[in-house]
Amino acid sequence: MLRVGYPPTLAAELLSDFPPEVELIPLPDKLDQDIDIDVWIPDPYPTRAIRLWPRLHGVRLVLSLMAGTEWIPGTVGPHVTICNAHGAHNISTAEWTVASILAMLKYFPFYLDVQRAGQWKRRFQASAHYAAITGDTRPLYPPVLLEELTGKTVLLVGYGAIGKEIERILAPFRVDLLRVARGARTEPEVHAVSELDSLLPQAEIVILILPFTAESRGLIGPRQLALMPQGALLVNAARGPIVDTNALVEALNAGHIRAALDVTDPEPLPDGHPLWSCPNLLLTPHVAGSSPQFAPRSLRTAAGELRRYINGEPMHNVVQAAV
């Protein structure tokens, strides 16, 4: 019988879809003895999982509950097959992405400050904010108190499952969507990442939802930030190191762009880090996938992969095949 180790913090009823041919082995965070298992479902928090790994023996397959698995190969080595939770976090991450765009364009962070101050007349400061961030200093009346998403040019960097879900949610806003992936495609048109610099000057909103790899590290650096139009919005729902943090801090403090981040580099973001106090920034602490459906969807994905593994069928979400 296949022995499957999992974090006991997961509710037992969520494992009811697992094949009957497996023995489920709860792995406490502070395991005090070595244990043999065949399949490992790591804790979603890497620090806990990495601490547990030296106690585990015989692991042949890792079923991650996350879409990103960047820490796993270096921990388990090349002789273990790794599958991610591709597709499990599409909805929650896509919804965070679009919600953060709307929050920034509707100036919700500013209006929350107005609410807390209890000063209705402060709303007119939104006009000065609009002029400063966009460079549009025309004498507009009535005053500009927010912006619209409809009709804007959106550059979607990463066109996998989550990128396609973002596109679906954006459809009613009739945005002009530019898609970027590792390689160019047609129907729909997708540009190669090598074209990124030529596309950035057209983009009013830039969404990052690509995998973190050696090639994508620092993809958005000083040059790319400078190519973005005045007042463009950078949205990072991927991984922090894809953006050069120092360059981003400089661009935000200079008032050149604005940003919404669910991920940072470093992460967790230390107390007193310059990003905390940057203007024109909405920052959430890596929560985009953390809806009540996180565990149910991820474990359904893992259960499906486990059934295919047992039946000798090709698995769907292999990110590393054992060598």
pLDDT tens track of the chain, all 323 residues? 899 999 999 988 899 999 999 999 999 988 889 999 999 999 999 999 999 999 999 999 999 999 989 999 999 999 999 999 999 999 999 999 999 999 999 999 999 999 999 999 999 999 999 999 999 999 999 999 999 999 999 999 999 999 999 999 999 999 999 999 999 999 899 999 999 999 999 999 999 999 999 999 999 999 999 999 999 999 999 999 999 999 999 999 999 999 999 999 999 999 999 999 999 999 999 999 999 999 999 999 999 999 999 999 999 999 999 98
Q: Report d(CA 154, CA 289) in Å as an integer.
A: 22
Q: Report d(CA 111, CA 123) in Å as an integer.
A: 7
Distance of CA 152 to the CA centre of its chain: 22
pLDDT for position 124: 95
Catalytic residue among 239, 256, 258, 297: 239
Catalytic residue among 21, 23, 267, 313: 267
Structure tokens at 316: 């769907």
Q: Report d(CA 176, CA 192) in Å as an integer.
A: 18
The helix-helix angle for 90-105 and 161-170 (nearest 10°) equals: 50
Q: Which residues of 174-190 are buried (b: 16+ CB within 10 A; e: fewer)?
A: ebebbbbbbeeeeeeeb
Phi-psi region for residue 103, left (φ > 0), alpha (ψ -120 to 50) or beta?
alpha
Phi, psi of 235, deg, nearest 5: -120, 120
pLDDT for position 29: 85
Catalytic residue among 286, 300, 307, 308: 286
Structure tokens at 153: 């040019």
pLDDT for position 179: 98
Q: Look up 286 and say whether it is catalytic.
A: yes
Q: Report d(CA 281, CA 157) in Å as an integer.
A: 20
pTM (2 d.p.): 0.93
- Please name the amino acid found at residue 131: A
Q: How far is CA 28 from CA 10, 48, 49, 55, 107, in A?
A: 11, 10, 10, 11, 44
Structure tokens at 266: 């470093």
Closest C-alpha to 49, from 15, 90, 9: 9
Let me know: does 144 contact 130? Beta carbons within 8 Å.
yes
pLDDT in tens, 267-318: 999 999 999 999 999 999 999 999 999 999 999 999 999 999 999 999 999 9
Structure tokens at 52: 């547990």
Let me know: does 35 contact 72? Beta carbons within 8 Å.
no
Query: Hey, what domains does the chain have and what are their CATH numbers?
Result: 2-88+291-320 (3.40.50.720), 90-106+147-283 (3.40.50.720)
Q: How far is CA 230 from CA 109, 132, 234, in A?
A: 20, 9, 11
Closest C-alpha to 219, from 210, 231, 228, 230: 210
